[in-house]
Structure formats: structure tokens, C-alpha cells
Structure 1
Amino acid sequence: MQQERVALVTGATSGIGVEIARQLAERGFRVVVSGRSAERGREVEESLGERVRFVRAELTAEGAASRLVADAVAAFGRLDVLVNNAAIDHTGDLLEVGEDEIRSTFETNTFAAMNLLIAAARRMRDQGDGGAIINITSRLASIGVPTMGIYSASKGAMLAFTRAAAIDLAQYGIRVNAVAPGMTRTPLYQEWLDGLPDPEAEAERVAAAIPMGRIAEPADVAAVVSFLASPEAAYLTGTSIPVEGGYLAK
């Protein structure tokens, strides 16, 4: 009897991460969701049902990657898919950015994700039957946007790491790909919008800049992640799929 596949999704207590976990569970995965908030994590666990287990994790702590992988395996017995979704935002005048801001952005968005990829890949290698790793990057990994330089660089590093890791890990049957969302309707987006003088006008301006005329929904991003985690994507590795309504094609 074939074992059920197990996925680990980081940053999965809100927004895109919750929807990724939902779609993977609906596809038959057992899913470990992680995040920093135990309260939100338990809510996600309860709302998504018995196929989902929450594990609290502070990914920037020393040894966190190995502990989280071990916890995922302890929960469901194996690990087949990692979705590196956890990240923090950063905006600000580039000439006013301090060293601590750069360091904290890279510690979460880049270093923690790299460590987790390596820890998960070691487990997948030892299991001997391959796996899939999906790094959530950003359209900003490929373009320049004012005030977003540090965030863009942290995601650009993950895009480069995705391609390099795909080459290193192909010998073990481990596929490594990236999904690059554009502006997406998440709680963080709504919080940003609500803080503006004219949220409605800004929402219209953002949508008008996208060829498809709307921003992404979390389900749009999650659908691509679910595909990359599936056997249908068995011959895809080292690629990045933009989910941004045609913005980068302009």
C-alpha cells in the first residue's frame, strides 16, 4: 500500500500559506503547517481538518530548520514536499535603510529558507524516493520597484538558489522550483491598502497596471504550488513560474 504523501508549508497561518495548505490537503496530502503564532496556527489546524497538523516554529532560531523537519516527520512519518512560504515584508527609502533591517529581512526570507531547504532535502534523500521543494519568491525577484530593494534582493537570492539547488538535488529525484506571485489579496495587502489616504483609488490603480485587470487571489498562487507538488510536474525542476497576471510580460 502506497504511503500518503506529506507536505510541510511554512508561513501557513494566514494569507497564501493557508490556501496552499488547504489545496494540498484537498489533493490528498497530510500537511504540516508552521508559523510563529500558536493561536492562529491552532485555528488553521481546526479549520482545515484532521489531515493538517500545526507546528509552531521560529525559523530564524539556531537549529530551527532541522527541528521543524523532525517535527513534520514525527507528525506523519515522512516528508515529500516542502513549501518555503514564510517571509517578512520590507519597504523604505534605500538610502535610509539600516544594517539591522537588511539583516533581519535576509535572515527570514533567505537564510531560514535556505536552511530549511537543505534540512528537508536531506530527509528526502534519505527516504530514497525523491520529493518536491517549492520556494515562494516574488515578481520583485525579477524587477526593480522603488522602496523595495532589500525585499527584492532577498527574494532574488532565493530565485538563484532555486536554480542551483535544482541542479544539486536532481540526482536524488528532488525537484526544486519557485513560484513568483505578484500583488496578492492577503491580509498584509489589505492592511497596506487601508493605511492609504484613498484605498479605493489605489486598488484601482494597482489593478489597472496588471494586464489581466486584477490582483491575484491566494487560490491563484496555491493552484500553481499544488501543481508543482504533484506527479504531473515530474519533469519540471529549476524553473520559476510567475503568478502575476502578465505584469512581467509588459
Structure 2
Amino acid sequence: MTDARVALVTGATSGIGIVIAEQLRERGLRVAVTGRSAERGREVERRLGPGARFLRADLTETGAAAEVVARTVAEFGRLDVAVNNAAIDHTNELLEVGEEEIRRTFETNTFAAMNLLIAAARQMREQGDGGSIVNVTSRLASIGVPTMGVYSASKGAMLAFTKAAAIDLAPHDIRVNAVAPGMTRTPLYQEWLDGLPDPEGEARRVAEAIPLGRIAEPADVAAVVAFLASPEAAYLTGVSIPVEGGYLAK
């Protein structure tokens, strides 16, 4: 079944972003994906097949969000779904954190995502037939974890912005929601695990702390994003759906 809608997925050259783009393509949407690596981007475009385009972009640059939305529309003629997935990780002892670390984390995780949301919403308003924006945040937007304070704050800001933007954009039938993943099996997770003295033991401990007994797969997160982007979620806006196996329910 072909879906005439068009989606833009940021940070889609690795991890969860690729799988989000794949699931949207499987549902028939045409998809523009962004990332900083042209080599990885071309591979993702090939992997997604016809109906997908890679747009190289550094969304922290001034004007980049508006430009990538314009390029998506030039390629596909419209924009119906925007997924704010691009992000960087940050860990450090709080009292050792420097100003540049804070600035860099917020530039990608918060400021670039806010600019992309606004640029996408302007395009959707111009089209006049609504749209869906999904912000990929984190379980850490709602809880405190040692060494993760700056990252948590950057994602917590996007959680607050999700709710505020949902109210502002509701008159235009533009829905804004968030998906908050817990620990997810991505290349970044594997890199972190491999750097520990006892990777297998730590993997077991992480899984045992989750009520469902395992960490998330990227497909678990992507499925919720795809649902929020779909017409089936037409009456959902301003919500954050945790995808963390029950961790926050403890």
C-alpha cells in the first residue's frame, strides 16, 4: 500500500534513526533522512530504496533546519511527518562538566531540534492539512542518573517543548508528541558496553533492572514513532510515551 505522505527523519544514518526511517518506508511514506556523514547517508538511501533521499546536514548550523525542510519539499513536494531523532550522548561527573560540553550538548539535542520543529511546522501550516511531529527524547528526561545530568536536561527541555508546541500548533491540526526510549541496543550502547571491564555481566545487570527483562531493540522504539506519525494517532498530541520496558513504573 502506498502512502502519499512525506516524512523527514533527522539523525537517520545510525541506530534508532535508520529503523524509524525503515518502518516509515514499510508503511508507504516517502522519507528524507539527514545526517552528517555522506558515506553513511548514501548507504542508508540505498538500503531504503526508491522513495528515500539522504540530505546531508549539520542541524546545529544557522539556517540548517529551514534548509533541510525546504530540500525535503523540493524533493517530494510536501512534508507531513517530522521526526526529531538527531542527538549526541554526554556523560561526565557533574562537577567536572565544562561550559563547552553543555553548549555542545544543547546545540544538538535541544536548539537544533527546536529549530527543526518550528521549520517543519511552518511548512505544515502552509500546506494547510495538518501534520505530525515526533521528538525522540529519553527516559532521562524524567529521572536523574549519575553523570547524565547535562544530557537529561537537554532531553527534559525537549519534553517541555513538546507539550508547549502541541498547544501552540493544535489550531493548525499539527500534532506534537514525544517518544522516550530507555536503554536501547544501538551501536552507541554496544560501544559503551565493550568499554567496560565485564560487558556480559553489565548487560545482565542492565536487563535485570528492567521489568520486562531486556533492553529495547531499535524496532521497539521505531514502532511507537511510526504509530504517533500515523492517522491512527490522530487524537494524540502533547504526550510522551516511554519505551523502556516498565523501568519508570517501578
2:64 match: 64
- Map Cα deviations across residues 124-158 of structure 1 (whole Å, 9 max, x no partner): 00000000000000000000000000000000000
| Matched AA of 1:214 | R
1:112 match: 112
Structural mapping, 1:70-149, within 5 Å: 70-149=70-149
Please, what TM-score do these two structures have when normalized by structure 1?
0.99
Q: Shift of residue 51 of structure 1?
A: 1.6
Tell whether 2:151 aligns with 1:159: no
Q: Shift of residue 112 of structure 1?
A: 0.3
CA contact (8 A) 2:19 2:218 kept: yes
Distance 1:75 1:32 in 2: 9
| Matched AA of 2:182 | G
Distance 1:74 1:209 in 2: 47
| Matched AA of 1:218 | P
2:249 match: 249
Q: Shift of residue 48 of structure 1?
A: 1.1
Q: Shift of residue 92 of structure 1?
A: 0.4
Tell whether 2:213 aligns with 1:217: no
1:198 match: 198
Distance 2:72 2:104 in 1: 25
Distance 1:215 1:165 in 2: 30
Distance 2:48 2:67 in 1: 23
Unpaired runs of 5+ residues, structure 1, are none
Q: Shift of residue 75 of structure 1?
A: 1.1
- Map Cα deviations across residues 54-90 of structure 1 (whole Å, 9 max, x no partner): 0000000010011000011011110000000000000
SS of residue paired to 2:242: strand
- Map Cα deviations across residues 88-139 of structure 1 (whole Å, 9 max, x no partner): 0000000000000000000000000000000000000000000000000000
1:50 match: 50
CA contact (8 A) 2:3 2:27 kept: no
CA contact (8 A) 2:163 2:177 kept: yes
CA contact (8 A) 2:38 2:56 kept: yes
Q: CA RMSD in A?
A: 0.9
SS of residue paired to 1:12: coil
2:229 match: 229
2:25 match: 25
Q: Shift of residue 3 of structure 1?
A: 7.5
| Matched AA of 1:189 | Y
Distance 2:23 2:15 in 1: 13
Tell whether 2:41 aligns with 1:38: no
| Matched AA of 1:200 | E
Unpaired runs of 5+ residues, structure 2, are none
Please, what TM-score do these two structures have when normalized by structure 2?
0.99
Distance 2:131 2:90 in 1: 31
Distance 1:52 1:61 in 2: 24
- Map Cα deviations across residues 209-248 of structure 1 (whole Å, 9 max, x no partner): 0000000000000000000000000000000000000000
